[in-house]
Amino acid sequence: MPKEKLQSKSWKEKGVVIVTAHPDDEALFFGTILQLKKAGVPITVIVMTLGELGSLHGVPESELTNERVKEVRRKELENGMKAIGASYEILPFADFALRYEAPEKLEVALLDVVRRIQPAAIFSFLDQEVTFQFDHPDHNTTGHLARVVGAGSDMQRYPNKENFPNAVPAMDRRPELYLWTTDKGVATHTVKLTKPERRTRNEYLKTHYPSQFSEADEKNWSKIFDNITKKKKSKKGKKKQREYFKRVR
């Protein structure tokens, strides 16, 4: 597979899934999503939680309830997915608490969705993130789950039929697995992120996730995004931006 072109015949036929923890996490994969869309690859975004412990821009914390935040974030996800033309699935787990769920329960829930879709590739987070803004326990747990589910996707007797008689049957072959990272040292694949693409991403976030990415605060959050994709200056002094992935399988 070429380093910057993530497209192959089977991807176009079978599609890929992006396994994330929260609505709006897909923005970290935005350059990748744009490239996949261009290549006609169907995308499904799977979110493990609705991010109900987050705040809503302009609403005092004292007025927030889990249900209220969930409702806003579910709607935002729906709009975002419509905008990028992706399908999505919401798994019913609690925000900032994935690590407390029974691992088998998490695995089987995600495994069932992945096996139903039968994607050619899975994207998720590398499970030991090194940048403080993204060192979120839900991201790490999600990335770990994606690894386990990827490995178990083609195992005929996993999960055990005696415990999970309704589990979706195994896939014929394991999907490829790419884990998002800011650790450039471990990355095996990069995807270019041009300036217009970054502008499109910012527009996407402002328009579809206003509760999390306010226009007034754009300078701050866009800087965080740009800092993690920044590469060293090239000879011409241009700062090239990339999304980084470690291919595991």
Q: Of 78 and 154, which CB lies nearer to Zn ion in the complex structure?
A: 78
The C-alpha atoms of residue 94 and residue 62 are separated, in whole angstroms, by: 20
Q: CB of residue 221 vs Zn ion: minimum separation in angstroms? A: 13
Q: What is the DSSP string of 9-24?
A: HHHHHH-EEEEESSTT
DSSP, collapsed to helix, strand or coil, labels residue 214 as: coil
Q: Does 47 bind Zn ion (CB under 5 A)?
A: no
Task: Specify the residue, 73 or 115, whose C-beta has the smaller distance to Zn ion.
Answer: 73
Comparison of 15 and 143: residue with beta carbon closer to Zn ion: 143
Nearest to Zn ion of 48, 171 (CB atom): 48
CB of 136 to Zn ion, least distance (A): 5
x-marked contacts with Zn ion along 71-110 as a string, rule CB under 5 A: ----------------------------------------
**For residues 243 and 249, what is the distance between their CA atoms, to the nearest angstrom?**
18
Write down the least CB distance from residue 47 to Zn ion, Å: 9
- Asked whether 83 and 119 are in contact (CB, 8 A), the reply is no
Residue 125 CA, distance from chain mean position = 7
Q: How many residues does the chain have?
A: 249
- Smaller CB distance to Zn ion: residue 11 or 134? 134
The nearer residue to Zn ion, 21 or 117, going by C-beta atoms, is: 21
Residues between 7 and 36 with contacts to Zn ion, criterion CB under 5 A: 21-22, 25
CB of 37 to Zn ion, least distance (A): 21
Nearer to Zn ion, 77 or 113 (CB): 77
Distance from the first to the final alpha carbon of the chain: 12
Count the site residues for Zn ion by CB under 5 A: 3
Is the distance from CB of 142 to CB of 98 less than 8 angstroms? Answer: yes
Residues from 136 through 195 that contact Zn ion (CB under 5 A): none
DSSP 3-state of 123: strand
- C-alpha distances in Å from residue 78, one per residue of 15, 17, 59: 19, 16, 21
Structure token digits, residue 158: 């996993």
Q: Which residue is nearest to Zn ion, using beta carbons?
A: 22
In angstroms, what is the minimal distance from the CB of 56 to Zn ion?
15
Least spacing, CB of residue 87 vs Zn ion, in Å: 19
For residue 143, give the amino acid letter: G
Q: Which residues bind Zn ion (CB under 5 A)?
A: 21-22, 25
